Amino acid sequence: MAAGSTRYMDGLNAAQREAVETLDGPVLMLAGAGTGKTKALTTRIVHLLTTNRARTNEILAVTFTNKAAREMKERVGRMLGQPAEGMPWLGTFHSICVKLLRRHAELVGLKSNFTILDTDDQIRLLKQLISAAGIDDKRWPARMLANIIDDWKNRALTPAKVPAGDAAAYNHRGTEFYDQYQTRLKELNAVDFGDLLLHCVEIFQNNPDLLAQYHRWFRYILVDEYQDTNVAQYLWLRLLASGHKNICCVGDDDQSIYGWRGAEVGNILRFEKDFSGAKVIRLEQNYRSTKHILSAASGVIRGNEGRLGKELWTEADGGEKVRLIGHWDGEEEARWIGEEIEAMQRGTRGMRQYGLNEMAILVRASHQMRAFEDRFLTIGLPYRVIGGPRFYERLEIRDAMAYFRVVISPEDDLAFERIVNTPKRGLGDKAQQTIQMVARENGVSLVEGARLAVEEGLIKGKGGAALRRLVENIARWGQMTRAVVPNDGDEDAVLEGVQSFEEFQARTEVSHVELAEIILDESGYTSMWQADKNPDSPGRLENLKELVKALENFDNLQGFLEHVSLVMDNDKQDAEQKVSIMTLHAAKGLEFPAVFLPGWEDGLFPSQRSMDESGLKGLEEERRLAYVGITRAEEVCTISFAGNRRVFGQWQSQLPSRFIDELPEEHVEVLTPPGLYGGGYGAAAPSAAEPPVRSTIEERMSNADGYNSPGWKRMQARTAERGYSKPRKSDSQIIDLTATSSFTIGERVFHQKFGYGAIIGMEGDKLEVDFEKAGTKKVVARFVSASDD
């Protein structure tokens, strides 16, 4: 594009144009969903580049998800007419912070090849500290402590800064453990997610010269989804922008959905105070959705108090009303959505044809995904799950990754602990304690401790020999990988002077992909699953293959591990058309022509927790989430709910979400599921001739607390008025809920009141169960279900 040409601004409205052209000084763009905030922000980047105000590496652009970052890069590239690969500082807070922290790790006492821990590791580490202090982690769970610490980190509080008001946290020992935890992390050369930001903030606060340098480097700062920044992120931004103050933030208070993770809408208000003279720009035209969809969304969000308040309008008249449909249970909901997607794909629903890429299912809770995944696998409907590290959460993947981690950084004690006796090497608790002890006494890592323990003959027999092999292997694999990445993690040093890929390969003995295979084979990990007779073992082996395949997209193991710990979306940019499945949280900023919103039931959406809370804060956040969900849709928005859901193996009857009640009637069309009343769409409502449904749910409803309450009756009356009622199950699908399945002694079960336990005796319809928390009890078999996990 010729310098000076601003054709990329054609089509922007006046307010957007202003946002693009006001380059110097603070700008706050505050506007509702689909008004073109992200578009304006992207155009602003193009404008900065085209007018030579900044070079690609002088722009710091923060987005919320990796997907959003990638899309923004692509959009910039398209507008510039060339790939925007050279935007090194366009990414998520976390990915940018990792980069900064690798450069300056020594300033906070870390080495640049530090490991990034995930929640699992974090909990394991905390458990160790807790049990070393002799605390009963049943009463004081490690997860609770982890949440407290995360919360402090989100609020940018180091152990020394935790306010006195928080002193009672975790039985008055929260701060003490937080301090220990931080010390331990440094010993392990590790950080958790919260640290990525916190360490950066600390570095900038303590090193003004360095900060000044970054002020010169990052000449323009842009932030999307600003309403979801937490205090640590806010401080980070403020530090970086404090020099030139060329910062442009865009956000929407109605879409603030990360309050539970410490995000503060107050940051929007604070912006104007901290950056005085900030230009505030408001956008009101929505370019994304039809009027019905936009009005439905506005109707819901109106229920919130204390909004900054804004009205949206759209030129897109007509189109489908928001479609609402009730189902018997979650499985049926998934089945219907699968069929609906196929029908829409064929264009047989009286609407245009929709490609699979144009359709998305947005769920409130990730456990809802399974029903869809199962169903779609069955009918062969291609789908992708976005936004959850689901694949990488699987046991075998986490084990394999732990192997890679120890090999990359032998200080990674947590990874070593995970694999030392996986596969079984005859190293019991005692041997492992010996390793711990030797490591502690010598102040070395566990790998090194293990090596010493073997050398000194402290671990004998088969276990000792196996451990020796493991330790030797780790060292050998490590040498193989260091041919690719030097120990300090400086990939550039390896690549220096390399002209071609062949030359690069020649410098490395084996590729990291081969190495990964070698590690999994030689460690005995692959054979462990090959020998395993469990029905899910073949699947696990498949996953391991998939993992190795995924490695091909990376230059080395370390890059891959980084990707996994950071990247929350595993949606490869594949060409195949697929339906997207993701959580509402992950859908932020995205748009799809057709959106399905399943599971709109009280207790699921809004979540039980938000309903139990006193005050409206949680509920209002859920409502914003509903607003985010509806506003993702461009043309078709389908909301559904089920009358029954399996929760922890127990059937539960569900009420339609209160948010359904808030949808303005004139923008909603109620669909009748085919099959339910024996007909297709719009089939007549049940007549007197319809056979009575043998409905255990009705029975249970009348017995269960709450269903006789005025609230429930009101709900029933209202839903009947609207033309939909609690759905019933067609006869063929009735499951006899009262039948006791055949239990066996020793089986792990779940009881709604007493939780998990193992069956130790049976007598008639009673079971004797040794509950993990409640001790031994006799319970009626009917109230017990086989445990899912």
Minimal distance, residue 229 CB to ligand ATP, in Å: 15
> Which run of H or of E encompasses 754?
none
Neighbours of 139 (CB within 10 A): 8
Please say if 38 is a catalytic residue. Answer: yes
Nearer to ligand ATP, 360 or 759 (CB): 360
Cβ-based nearer residue to ligand ATP, 255 or 640: 255
Q: Count the residues of the shown chain that bind ligand ATP, applying the rule CB under 6 A.
A: 19
Q: Which is nearer to ligand ATP, 56 or 285 (CB)?
A: 285
Nearer to ligand ATP, 68 or 156 (CB): 68
Stretch touching Mg ion by CB under 5 A, among 251-259, 583-591, 604-612, 755-763: 583-591
- Interface with ligand ATP includes 256 (CB under 6 A)? no
In the bound state with ligand ATP, the residue whose beta carbon lies nearer, of 252 and 413, is 252
Angstrom distance (rounded) from CA 573 to CA 752? 43
CB atoms within 10 A of CB 604: 24
CA 184 to chain centre: 26
Q: What's the gap between Cα 317 and its chain centre?
A: 35
User: Which of 118, 224, 448, 634 is the catalytic position?
Assistant: 224
Cβ neighbours of residue 116 under 8 Å, at least 6 residues apart?
98, 190, 191, 192, 193, 196, 562, 565, 566
Determine, following the binding rule CB under 6 A, whether residue 464 of this chain makes contact with ligand ATP: no
Burial of 659 (0-12, 13-18, 19+ CB in 10 A): buried
Residue 473 contact partner, candidates ligand ATP, Mg ion, none, CB within 5 to 8 A by sort of partner:
none
- Does residue 255 have an active-site annotation? yes
- The catalytic position among 16, 38, 434, 654 is 38
Q: Which is nearer to ligand ATP, 237 or 297 (CB)?
A: 297
> Both tokens of residue 118?
């995930």
* Interatomic CA distance for residues 159 and 137, integer angstroms: 21
Do residues 483 and 507 touch, judged by C-beta distance below 8 A? Answer: yes
Choose the stretch contacting ligand ATP; rule: CB under 6 A; options: 31-39, 86-94, 435-443, 461-469: 31-39
Look up 608 and say whether it is catalytic. no
Distance CA 123, CA 137 (A): 11
E strand segments, 607-715: 633-647, 650-653, 668-670
Q: Closer CB to ligand ATP, residue 128 or residue 631?
A: 631
Cα separation values, 488 from 112, 421, 482, 520, Å: 6, 28, 10, 24
Pick the binder of ligand ATP from 9, 12, 162, 381 (CB under 6 A). 12
CA pair distance 659, 303, nearest whole angstrom: 9
| Contact map string, positions 588 to 607, toward ligand ATP, x by CB under 6 A | -x-x----------------
Q: Give which of Mg ion, ligand ATP, none residue 33 binds (C-beta under 5 to 8 Å, depending on kind).
A: ligand ATP
Q: Which is nearer to ligand ATP, 323 or 632 (CB)?
A: 632
Pick the stretch among 9-17, 30-38, 515-523, 609-617 that binds Mg ion (CB under 5 A): 30-38
C-alpha–C-alpha distance, residues 526 and 403, integer Å = 12
- Annotation marks residue 225 as catalytic: yes
Instruction: Name which of ligand ATP, Mg ion, none residue 252 binds, using a CB cut-off of 5 to 8 Å depending on partner kind.
Output: ligand ATP
Q: Does 35 bind ligand ATP (CB under 6 A)?
A: yes
Buried/exposed 187-214: b ≥16 CB within 10 Å, e otherwise: ebbbbbbbbbbbbbbebbeeeeeebeeb
CA distance 774 to 444: 41
Interface with Mg ion includes 464 (CB under 5 A)? Answer: no
Which of 11, 680 has the CB closer to ligand ATP? 11
Q: Residue 239, exposed/middle/buried by CB under 10 A (0-12, 13-18, 19+)?
A: middle
Report if residue 16 touches Mg ion, rule: CB under 5 A.
Answer: no
Site for ligand ATP in 54-83 (CB under 6 A): none
6 sits near ligand ATP (criterion: CB under 6 A)? no
Number of Cβ within 10 Å of residue 17's Cβ equals 18
Q: Is 17 in the site for ligand ATP (CB under 6 A)?
A: no
In angstroms, the CA 262 to CA 596 distance is 28
Q: How far is the CB of 39 from Mg ion (least distance, A)?
A: 8
# residues near Mg ion by CB under 5 A: 3
Site for ligand ATP contains 94 (CB under 6 A)? no
Smallest gap from Cβ 663 to ligand ATP, in A, equals 19
Rounded CA gap, 786 and 769, in Å? 12
Measured from each CB, the residue nearest to ligand ATP is 36
Selecting among 195, 225, 253, 620, the annotated active-site residue is 225
The CA-atom distances, in angstroms, between 3 and each of 10, 16, 57 are 16, 21, 19
Beta strands in 237-342 (DSSP E): 247-251, 279-283, 322-329
Under the criterion CB under 6 A, does residue 34 sit at the interface with ligand ATP?
yes
CB of 32 to Mg ion, least distance (A): 11
Query: Using the rule CB under 6 A, which residue among 260, 287, 313, 712 binds ligand ATP?
Result: 287
Which residue is it, tokens 């594009």?
A: 1
Interaction partner, residue 384 (ligand ATP, Mg ion, none; CB < 5-8 Å by kind): none
Measured CA to CA, the distance from residue 110 to residue 269 in angstroms comes to 36
Q: Which amino acid is at 83?
A: P
618 binds, among Mg ion, ligand ATP, none (CB under 5 to 8 A by kind): none
In the list 489, 589, 606, 727, the residue contacting Mg ion (rule: CB under 5 A) is: 589
Query: Are 316 and 291 within 8 A, CB to CB?
Result: yes
Q: Does 326 bind ligand ATP (CB under 6 A)?
A: no
Q: Considering only residues 534 through 593, tell me which ones interact with ligand ATP, judged by CB under 6 A.
A: 589, 591
Residue type for position 778: K
Query: Annotated catalytic residue: which of 153, 425, 632, 728?
Result: 632
Identity of the residue numbered 434:
T
Q: Which stretch binds ligand ATP (CB under 6 A): 37-45, 126-134, 748-756, 777-785?
A: 37-45
In the set 229, 255, 314, 654, the catalytic residue is: 255
| Interacting residues with ligand ATP between 134 and 153 (CB under 6 A) | none
Nearest-approach distance from CB 597 to ligand ATP, in angstroms: 15
Are 257 and 628 a contacting pair, CB within 8 Å?
Answer: yes
> Which of ligand ATP, Mg ion, none does residue 35 bind to, with CB < 5 to 8 Å depending on kind?
ligand ATP
Stretch that binds Mg ion, among 32-40, 106-114, 140-148, 624-632 (CB under 5 A): 32-40
Asked if 673 touches Mg ion (CB under 5 A), the answer is no
Residues of span 607-666 touching ligand ATP by CB under 6 A: 631
Contact call for residue 37 and ligand ATP (CB under 6 A): yes
- Cα distances (angstroms) measured from residue 628 to each of 30, 40, 161, 789: 15, 19, 35, 32
Q: Is 224 a catalytic residue?
A: yes
Query: Is 496 noted as a catalytic residue in this protein?
Result: no
Q: Which of residues 33-52 bind Mg ion (CB under 5 A)?
A: 37-38
Catalytic entry in 16, 17, 35, 37: 37
C-alpha pair distances (Å), 409 with each of 18, 412, 433, 666? 50, 6, 21, 61
* Rounded Cα distance, 469 and 426, in Å: 13
Measured between alpha carbons, how far is residue 551 from residues 15, 485, 545 in Å?
A: 45, 15, 10
Q: CB–CB of 314/294 below 8 Å?
A: yes
32 binds Mg ion (CB under 5 A): no
Residues in the site for Mg ion, rule: CB under 5 A?
A: 37-38, 589
Residues annotated as part of the active site = 37-38, 224-225, 255, 632
Residues in the site for ligand ATP, rule: CB under 6 A?
A: 11-13, 16, 31, 33-39, 252, 255, 287-288, 589, 591, 631
